[in-house]
A and B are shown apart, each in its own frame.
Chain A
Amino acid sequence: MPDEPPIERRPQESERPEYPDAAQRPRVGVDTWVAEHGERVQRGPLRRAAERVPGWARLLAFVAVAAVFPIAVDDEYLQRVGVDTLIFMLLAVGLNVVVGYAGLLDLGYIAFFGFGAYTYAIVSSDKYDYHWPAEATIPFILVVTAALGLLLGLPSRRLLGDYLAIVTLFFGQLFVTITNNSTDVKLPFMDRARDLTGGPNGITDLDPIDFAGVELNSVPRYFWFALALFVLVVVALHFVNESRTGRAWRALREDPLAAEAMTMPVNRLKLLAFAFGAAVAGVTGAIFASLQTAVFPQSFDVSLLIILYAMVILGGTGSLAGVALGAIVVNVLLEGLTNTDDTLPVVGETPPRLLFYGLVAVGLALIVRPWRWLAVAAAATIAFGFAARLVAEQWWERGTAGRPSQAGRIGDLVDGWLLFPRDPVDIGNYAFVALIASVLVLTLLRRPWRWIALAPVLYLAAFVWENRLIQEPSVTRFILLGAILVGLMASRPQGLFGTARVEIA
């Protein structure tokens, strides 16, 4: 819509008024709304500059960098993070078809991932004594998960977004329940009770994928395999997206009713999107299972779903590059927040601390305007800290009895500034609740008060982080992810790389 050139207004002969000042006078009864549309639209600054780079060039650049990653990084942990990231990227791109293209809120997506993984486990382990070759397994999983997607989509045929959400959410939960409980099951057609899925212990000792003579026996090989699959999916998606189906999906997302009125086969399109997403998830599940050499029900629970949604939403639904980038950012963030063992070189600090203080700083830089207030807030926070420390040394002996629980440059820096109570768990819990409350209140305060209250709240955040959150990294990262999702929705619902849709009231 903003791309059409402004149409020049030229009075038609028939309606030219006879007044001498005719050109200046607004004419009554001529609907110029459409004609003047161009000048009515305010153009923002040039956005989407990055999109000028053609898609294939971006993909090529990414592949070039990614392909050398396992060689350049000679660290099995980091390589593993790389494979996980690729798996997440595949999942996110698949989910993006369902959510971003077709606009369906699929909350059972993880079940397809799990189904693919379990199918792989069943046909590639001693559990049932099947050892299919991967050349057969992977197409098989592709077909089976796509079929399952169609099947789940069927009752959702006439369903609107919200009903679909509940059916799929339940389906996702059902997958976990069934895999968890099918240890000693006797169904009507069976002669005796059997262990179908291994229950919480899962199915273990899976065969590695052996595809076209190449056995995936090392992490780098999995990396390249996943990368190849990612390229394949992205290229396939590109063609689908440019096709009639792709356009129809977008129309469906914008307005299902209108799409139906245009005689688009809405149901078939929905099913297609569902099946497509499911197939991508299923095949990714096979890689995941073989990489882990085992499958467990708890790998496919609702946490993974929310992480995936965070990736897709953060990147911006609908944008292929966006969701892929979202997957990278979120996975690196989550990994970094739990990695408390390694102190990074150069900066001399553990990743969680850097990430936490970095996130706070970036968040502040985005919110606080003008930026000189940032300096004021930082100075006030530092001053507040020393004051609090002084007060505590006088009257609250317990408050200064502890030490930072982790070494590191930042740890040394905050040691004389923050309060470190003895046995900080209880105090930390109360402070955590107080922190949530005060951040919420902070958003309600008006200008001068908001900046005045900022310093104690920042101090409280540092206090909670150093005394409590840093102790439980695996929980903390999810708390942060939840908070980021809520904050992102409130500030930029279209995600970081999505484009805003103008909704006319």
Chain B
Amino acid sequence: MDVLALTPWDDWSIFIQLCVNGVTLGSVYALIALGYSMVYGILKMLNFAHGDVYMIGSFLGYFMLTSGLDGPMNLAVPIWLALTLVLLVAMLGAGLLGVAIERFAYRPLRNAPRIAPLISALGVSFFLQNSALLLFGANFRTYDAFTLDGGVLFTKGIFEAWGKDDAIALNLPLLNMLVIGGAIVLMILLTLLVARTRLGKAMRATAFDREAAAMMGINPDRVIMATFFIGSALAGAAGVMVGMLFGQVYHFMGFLAGLKGFTAAVVGGIGSIPGAMLGGLLIGMIEAFSTGYLPEGSKFQDFYVFILLIAVMLFRPTGLLGRADIAKV
């Protein structure tokens, strides 16, 4: 197929399909970007190990799925419960991993020169990646989600699931809808947490001025720990979603996803929570549309995302929703 000739006007069903793919991918990127952004907001450091936390989360979900539910233990639970369990295990595990990384690799460097935690983060990333390679091998592992309940998540389109005919010839698998829905629920919960709760306010206060927050009796270390837990748990959730969507996980998957999440956070305005969501969505859409409409887009999606990044950096260096005052480091 000569992709160059294609425009949305040629085939609207492809357009809608790409939209669905873009939004699905975008919500995953947004979840990853949130962790970057929250950590940046509070510590002003780029947590390069975040992508690898996502990878470990994905593996945890995989083991929960294959050995806990589908495999040896074979717990006979309804599919919704199975999915919830997988998600929870991955989120909890990733969250704890994030907390451990913060405690051991970043906390000793609170007052070190700014480059030190960045290098430490690179070291953690390298360590996690290669540890995963040692533990899980170089092979791709296949999420056995397809066998769940006879593959209902993949085969059933959403209209079919509602019992309606697939009239518009759209392929909207239930799984995509679940991923988008799950991501939206998580993001709403996070927004409420940050806006309304005591912890959320403490997080904002600490992000703005850590020393002043401590002067109010807030324990910054604990708030930072909570931030890492929440951000990493979101990455764990994203890991499970990607595992389900693409069916496979491997030790190096964290790098590229982390890079995209990162870019999403920067494009949206690093440190800004709505910015991370917007950035994620934007990058997901660009990737999806580039496969359909741009020259060699299926090979060079990354290139088009890079163009977006450069454009944002040139014309709005603080990101789309970033405030100018954040830029002062």
Direct interface between A and B, CB < 8 A: yes
- Chain A residues within CB distance 8 Å of chain B: 99, 103, 105, 155-156, 158-163, 165-167, 169-171, 173-174, 177-178, 181-182, 185-188, 302-303, 306, 309-310, 313, 317, 429, 432-433, 436, 440, 443, 468-469, 472, 475-476, 478-479, 481-486, 489-490, 493-494, 501, 503, 505
Given A166-B309, A443-B104, residue A181 in contact with residue B300 (CB < 8 A): yes
Interface segment among B114-122, B168-176, B224-232: the answer is B114-122
- Chain B residues, Cβ within 8 Å of A309: 119, 122
- Chain A residues, Cβ within 8 Å of B40: 162
- Could you jot down 11 A-B contacts, CB within 8 Å? A165-B118, A443-B104, A481-B123, A482-B128, A485-B119, A485-B127, A489-B109, A490-B109, A493-B116, A503-B111, A505-B111
- Chain A residues, Cβ within 8 Å of B105: 486, 489-490
- Chain A residues, Cβ within 8 Å of B120: 485-486, 489-490
Q: Is the CB of B314 within 8 A of A155?
A: yes
Q: How far is the CB of A359 from chain B (nearest CB, A)?
A: 15
Q: Is the CB of A160 within 8 A of B327?
A: yes
Q: Any chain A CB within 8 A of the CB of B167?
A: no
Given A155-B313, A440-B100, residue A482 in contact with residue B127 (CB < 8 A): yes
Q: What separation, in Å, do the CA atoms of A484 and B44 have in the docked complex?
A: 24
Q: Is the CB of A185 within 8 A of B296?
A: yes
Q: What separation, in Å, do the CA atoms of A440 and B104 have in the docked complex?
A: 7
Q: Which residue of B lies closest to A468 (CB)?
A: B134
Q: Any chain A CB within 8 A of the CB of B140?
A: no
Partner of A185, one of B112, B118, B122, B299: B299
- Chain A residues, Cβ within 8 Å of B299: 181-182, 185
Q: What separation, in Å, do the CA atoms of A186 and B4 have in the docked complex?
A: 10
Interface segment among B7-15, B83-91, B185-193, B259-267: the answer is B259-267
Q: Is the CB of A472 within 8 A of B302?
A: no
Q: Any chain A CB within 8 A of the CB of B17?
A: no
Which label, helix, strand, loop or mixed, suits the secondary structure of the A interface? helix
Q: Any chain A CB within 8 A of the CB of B256?
A: yes
Partner of A177, one of B270, B295, B302, B314: B302
Q: What separation, in Å, do the CA atoms of A484 and B120 have in the docked complex?
A: 9
Q: What separation, in Å, do the CA atoms of A336 and B299 have in the docked complex?
A: 38
- Chain A residues, Cβ within 8 Å of B119: 309, 313, 485, 489, 493
Q: Is the CB of B266 within 8 A of A163?
A: yes
- Chain A residues, Cβ within 8 Å of B309: 166-167, 170
- Chain B residues, Cβ within 8 Å of A505: 111
Q: Any chain A CB within 8 A of the CB of B310?
A: yes
Q: Any chain A CB within 8 A of the CB of B217?
A: no
Q: Is the CB of A173 within 8 A of B256?
A: yes
- Chain A residues, Cβ within 8 Å of B306: 170-171, 174
Q: Which residue of A lies closest to B299 (CB)?
A: A181
Q: Which residue of A lies closest to B136 (CB)?
A: A429
Besides A166-B266, A177-B300, 12 more A-B contacts (Cβ < 8 Å) are A161-B329, A163-B317, A165-B118, A166-B262, A169-B259, A429-B135, A482-B124, A485-B123, A486-B120, A489-B108, A493-B112, A493-B113
Q: How far is the CB of A486 from chain B (nearest CB, A)?
A: 4
- Chain B residues, Cβ within 8 Å of A155: 310, 313-314
**Which 5 pairs of residues, A with B, have the shortest CB-CB distance?**
A485-B123, A482-B127, A482-B126, A493-B116, A489-B120
Given A170-B259, A174-B302, A490-B120, residue A160 in contact with residue B134 (CB < 8 A): no
Q: How far is the CB of A319 from chain B (nearest CB, A)?
A: 14
Interface size on B, residues (CB 8 A): 55
- Chain A residues, Cβ within 8 Å of B256: 173
Q: What separation, in Å, do the CA atoms of A289 and B103 have in the docked complex?
A: 42
Q: How far is the CB of A381 from chain B (nearest CB, A)?
A: 23
Q: Is the CB of B113 within 8 A of A478?
A: no
Given A475-B134, A485-B126, residue A166 in contact with residue B116 (CB < 8 A): no
Q: How far is the CB of A405 from chain B (nearest CB, A)?
A: 15
Q: Is the CB of B134 within 8 A of A429?
A: yes
Q: What separation, in Å, do the CA atoms of A92 and B314 have in the docked complex?
A: 30
- Chain B residues, Cβ within 8 Å of A170: 259, 263, 302, 305-306, 309
Given A170-B309, A485-B122, A486-B105, residue A162 in contact with residue B270 (CB < 8 A): yes
- Chain A residues, Cβ within 8 Å of B259: 169-170, 173
Q: Is the CB of B104 within 8 A of A432?
A: no
Q: Is the CB of A476 within 8 A of B109?
A: no
Q: Which residue of A lies closest to B327 (CB)?
A: A160
- Chain A residues, Cβ within 8 Å of B302: 170, 173-174, 177
Q: Is the CB of B115 within 8 A of A105?
A: yes
- Chain A residues, Cβ within 8 Å of B300: 177-178, 181
Q: Any chain A CB within 8 A of the CB of B208?
A: no
Q: What separation, in Å, do the CA atoms of A471 and B172 have in the docked complex?
A: 46
Q: Any chain A CB within 8 A of the CB of B67?
A: no
Q: What separation, in Å, do the CA atoms of A166 and B133 have in the docked complex?
A: 25
Q: Is the CB of B134 within 8 A of A432?
A: yes
Q: Which residue of A lies closest to B303 (CB)?
A: A174
**Contacting residues of chain B (291-324) with chain A, CB-CB under 8 angstroms:** 295-296, 299-300, 302-303, 305-306, 309-310, 313-314, 317
- Chain A residues, Cβ within 8 Å of B129: 478, 482
Q: Any chain A CB within 8 A of the CB of B62?
A: no
Q: Is the CB of A489 within 8 A of B111?
A: no
Give the residue among A166, A436, A494 with the most B Cβ atoms within 10 A: A166
Q: Any chain A CB within 8 A of the CB of B180?
A: no
Q: What separation, in Å, do the CA atoms of A109 and B134 have in the docked complex?
A: 27
Q: Is the CB of B303 within 8 A of A479?
A: no
Q: Any chain A CB within 8 A of the CB of B255?
A: yes
Q: How far is the CB of A214 from chain B (nearest CB, A)?
A: 39
- Chain B residues, Cβ within 8 Å of A443: 104
Given A160-B327, A432-B131, residue A166 in contact with residue B263 (CB < 8 A): yes
Q: Is the CB of A472 within 8 A of B263?
A: no
Q: Which residue of B lies closest to A429 (CB)?
A: B135
Q: How far is the CB of B157 from chain A (nearest CB, A)?
A: 32
Q: Any chain A CB within 8 A of the CB of B130?
A: yes
Q: What separation, in Å, do the CA atoms of A395 and B135 have in the docked complex?
A: 27
- Chain B residues, Cβ within 8 Å of A469: 134
Give the residue among B114, B124, B255, B313 with the most A Cβ atoms within 10 A: B313
Q: What separation, in Å, do the CA atoms of A494 and B114 have in the docked complex?
A: 11
Q: Is the CB of A177 within 8 A of B126?
A: no
Q: Which residue of A lies closest to B109 (CB)?
A: A489
- Chain B residues, Cβ within 8 Å of A489: 105, 108-109, 112, 116-117, 119-120, 123
Given A162-B329, A169-B259, A440-B100, residue A479 in contact with residue B127 (CB < 8 A): yes
Q: What separation, in Å, do the CA atoms of A170 and B51 have in the docked complex?
A: 14
Q: Which residue of B lies closest to A479 (CB)?
A: B130
- Chain A residues, Cβ within 8 Å of B313: 155-156, 159, 163, 167
Partner of A479, one of B100, B131, B329: B131
- Chain B residues, Cβ within 8 Å of A494: 113
Q: Which residue of A lies closest to B130 (CB)?
A: A478
Q: Any chain A CB within 8 A of the CB of B46?
A: yes
Q: Is the CB of B134 within 8 A of A476?
A: yes
- Chain A residues, Cβ within 8 Å of B255: 173, 302
Given A162-B270, A177-B302, A490-B109, residue A306 in contact with residue B295 (CB < 8 A): no
Q: What separation, in Å, do the CA atoms of A476 and B299 have in the docked complex?
A: 33
Given A478-B126, A489-B120, residue A161 in contact with residue B303 (CB < 8 A): no
Q: Which residue of A lies closest to B270 (CB)?
A: A162
- Chain A residues, Cβ within 8 Å of B295: 186-188
